[in-house]
Amino acid sequence: MKSHENRVKELAATLSGDDPLVIAEYLSSLRNNEAFKGAIGLIASYYDQTSDRQVMRVVEGFFNDIKNPELQPEILDALGKPFSNSTISMIIASCWQSGADYSDHVDFFTNLFITGDYSVSIECMTLIAENAEAYTSEKKSEVIEKLESSLATIPAEKINLARELIIALSEK
């Protein structure tokens, strides 16, 4: 079995290649195995730079399959990188599409909701609402308060999203 370090080096070498088919096949093989530490950032960075739709779909599937809570810090770290809004949105969408529990990170996603663009906010809204039943009533109140206080400063296009999220949190 390959060492962790060798797996990361092999992934980096594959992603630096210029054959999208080889990259897609390699990523597909990773998707069939457990994701490993060090892979998330490399693959997110590659997704952010590529325009190859086939490879992008494979990466999206890879992220959607990540359920291992040990990789959540890496995912959150990737969300803090200066990636395009579409890459950030894809990563957040994968968080809720995977079905993994991100309830411990509601403050992080609330901040992203407030500071992100419209597409990032929609994905954060979905993730926050999907995990709402896991929040304590105190946590829900904190998030609602934070969202209400942001209504005066967020762009007009996001006000209705914030109000919908407030309602969703109030009802669950």
Q: What pLDDT score does 37 carry?
A: 84
Report if residue 65 sits inside a domain. yes
Residues 55 and 117 both lie in one domain = no
Contact 56, 87 (CB under 8 A): no
Whether residue 112 sits in one domain with residue 77: no
Among 34, 54, 85, the domain boundary falls at: 85
Alpha carbon distance 89, 25 (integer Å): 24
Residue 96 lies in a domain: no
pLDDT at 4: 78
Residues 37 and 77 in one domain: yes
Q: What is the DSSP letter of 71?
A: G
Residues 44 and 105 both lie in one domain: no
Q: Identify the domain boundary among 32, 53, 85.
A: 85
pLDDT, averaged in runs of 10, over the chain (172 residues) = 82 94 91 81 97 96 91 96 98 96 97 98 97 96 98 96 97 83
